[in-house]
Amino acid sequence: MDDDAELLSAGQVEALLDWFDRYGVDYPWADTREPWAIWVSEVMLQQTTISAVQSRYIRWMERYPTPGHLAETGEDEFLRDWEGLGYYNRARNLASAAGEIVRRFGGRIPRSYDDLRSLPGIGDYIASALSSFAFDERNAAIDANGRRIAQRLSGLEGWDKSVENRFRKAVESRMPREKPGRLNAAVMQLGQLVCLPRSPRCRDCPLGGSCLARAQGRQDEIPLRRKKTIVELRTPIAVLIDECRVFLQQRSSGIARGMWVFPARTEIPDFEMNWKIVTNLPVMIHAYTKYKEHLEPGIFVPRHGNSPAFRLSGGGKWVESEGLDQLPMPTAYRKIAGQLANHSLLPCVPGVEI
C-alpha cells in the first residue's frame, strides 16, 4: 500500500460516514461545538470507558461550565469531583491548562493547533480532536480505535508509525469540507462499536470489504496483544480513630498523588505498641496500572487512651468523621470510608463501644 488513499479510499469514507449517520451513538458531548465541553469529554475518555464517563461528564460540566470555574477551584475540591474516574493527573493537567487559558488567552480556548499543544496535558490527539470538532480544522485525531482500524486494514500485527502517518494523511485528505470532525467521530465510533479489540463485528463493518486482516482471517489476531503481567499486592490498612476523628494520609507521589488514603500499618511508627484493633473490615481491591492491591483494613484505637503523636512521610491529618466525604480518595479507599458510616463503627455513634 504505497498510496495513502489505498488505506482509506473515497468510497470507504462515503460508506463509513453513511454508517455513522445511521448507527452513530448520540453521546452527551456529540453535538456540541463548545471547545471546553469537547476538551473535557476527550480528557475524561482517555483510558476510561464511555459508560463510566457519561454521567460524570454531565455533573462536571454543571460544576465547571468554563475553564475559569475550574481554574479558581482548589485541588482537593476538583479531585473530589473527579473521584472514580482514575488517572488523576488528567484532572490536574486540565486544571493547570484552565489556569493558562485564563492567564494567556483571556478565558477563551485558542483555535491554533500549536497553541493547544502548548497547554498542559494536551498531546496530538486532543489538539487534533478539539481543532476538528470545535473549529472545523482538517486534523485527524488518531486514538487507539483509529490505530486498531489502521492495523487491521493494512494487516499489521504490530504498530508501525509509518502506518499511522499513512492513515492520518488518508483521513485528512478525505475529510469533508463542512464539519470535518465527522470523519474523526466516525472512525472512533467504528472502533468502539464494530471494530472491537476482541471479537470484532466484521459483518457490520462498512470497511470490511477492504480489510486485509479480515481477508486473511486474522482479525482476532490483529493487533498483536502483549501479555499483561499483574502484580498482586497485600496491604494491611490502619483506620485510626480517636473519638470522632479519623487519620488520613495524603499521597505525595504516584498516580494517586494528592488523594487522601488510610495509611498502611507498616508506615506507622510503633504501631503494635500504640494501637489496638476494634474490628476488621472487608478486603477491598485497588487495581491500577499493572497492580492488583488487596487492601486489608482494620479499625484501630489508641491502646493508652490518647492518640500518639506521629508523622508520616507523605503527610497526614486528623479529620472529623463528617469531613471524610469532603476529601478526594481513590475508589477502594472511599469504599472503606463508607464502611464506617454503613456499620456505625465510629465511636461517636451512640451505643457503640470500643
Q: Which of 178, 165, 310 is nearest to 247 (CA)?
A: 310
| Cβ neighbours, 10 Å, residue 5 | 15
- The catalytic position among 42, 83, 137, 172 is 42
CA quadruple 175, 181, 187, 189: dihedral positive or negative? Answer: negative
Q: Using an 8 Å Cβ cutoff, are 102 and 71 in contact?
A: yes
Tell me if 145 sits within 8 A of 195, measured CB to CB.
yes
Whether 75 sits among the annotated catalytic residues: the reply is: no
Q: Which three cell numbers stand for residue 122?
A: 494536551
CA distance 19 to 206: 7
CB 326 within 8 A of CB 253: no
Burial of 294 (0-12, 13-18, 19+ CB in 10 A): middle
C-alpha 311: how far from chain center: 32
**Cell numbers given for 132:** 476538528
297 three-class SS: strand
Query: For residue 309, how many other CB atoms are within 10 A of its CB?
Result: 7
The three three-digit cell numbers of residue 139, written as one number: 486534523
Kindly list the catalytic residues.
42
